[in-house]
Amino acid sequence: MTEIRQILSTARTIAVLGVSGNRHKAGYYVPDYLAAQGYRILPVNPRLVGQTMWGEPVVATLAELAEPVDLVDVFRRPEWLPDHEADILALDPRPAVVWFQLGIRSDAVALRLEAAGIEVVQSRCTLADHRALGIGPVG
């Protein structure tokens, strides 16, 4: 949990890959919680392009992000993670952390990202860990 605390305490800008427009899905309420805690959320979902969420325009792909991110928070099915691997590795600068949300795991993708110097968290919820650690708002 020390590493998780460090990640959540130092990250400021989070790209949410697979953000949802449905308030009842984790892909919406988790980044909504994080935004309320002071994180800057950059939403990524090709089906929601043209919308604004948390004050930021939704982009279709990670490649369209106009600025560096500290963390990529992934809300995509495990079988789709290999499709996103190249996009993550192409980010310049690369994020310090890629976080696969609860129930999302790909050891093969994680190994390749880690080999490229990116820390990977698998099958954990940023909201639950943030609350459990009592981190509070970031600034």
CA distances from 54 to 14, 19, 28, 48, 112 (A): 12, 11, 11, 13, 31
Is 49 inside a domain boundary? yes
Is 138 inside a domain boundary?
no
Give the pLDDT band of residue 9 (cuts 50, 70, 90): very high
> For the chain, what is the domain count?
1
C-alpha to C-alpha distance for 135 and 34, rounded to whole angstroms: 11
Closest to 54 in 3D by CA, of 29, 74, 78: 29
Q: Tell me, yes or no, whether 91 lies in a domain.
A: yes
The predicted structure's pLDDT at residue 136: 87
Structural domain contains residue 16: yes
Note the pLDDT tens digit of each residue in 17-36: 999 999 999 999 999 999 99
Please give the residue range of the domain that contains residue 96.
2-133
CATH classification at residue 91: 3.40.50.720
Q: What is the per-residue pLDDT across 95-120, written as a single tens digit (0 to 9) for each?
A: 999 999 999 999 999 999 999 999 99
> What letter would DSSP give residue 101?
P
45 within some domain: yes
Q: What is the pTM of this model?
A: 0.96
User: pLDDT (tens digit, 9 = 90+) per residue, 68-96?
Assistant: 999 999 999 999 999 999 999 999 999 99
- How many Å apart are CA 105 and CA 61, to the nearest integer? 20
Question: Do the domain assignments include residue 139?
Answer: no
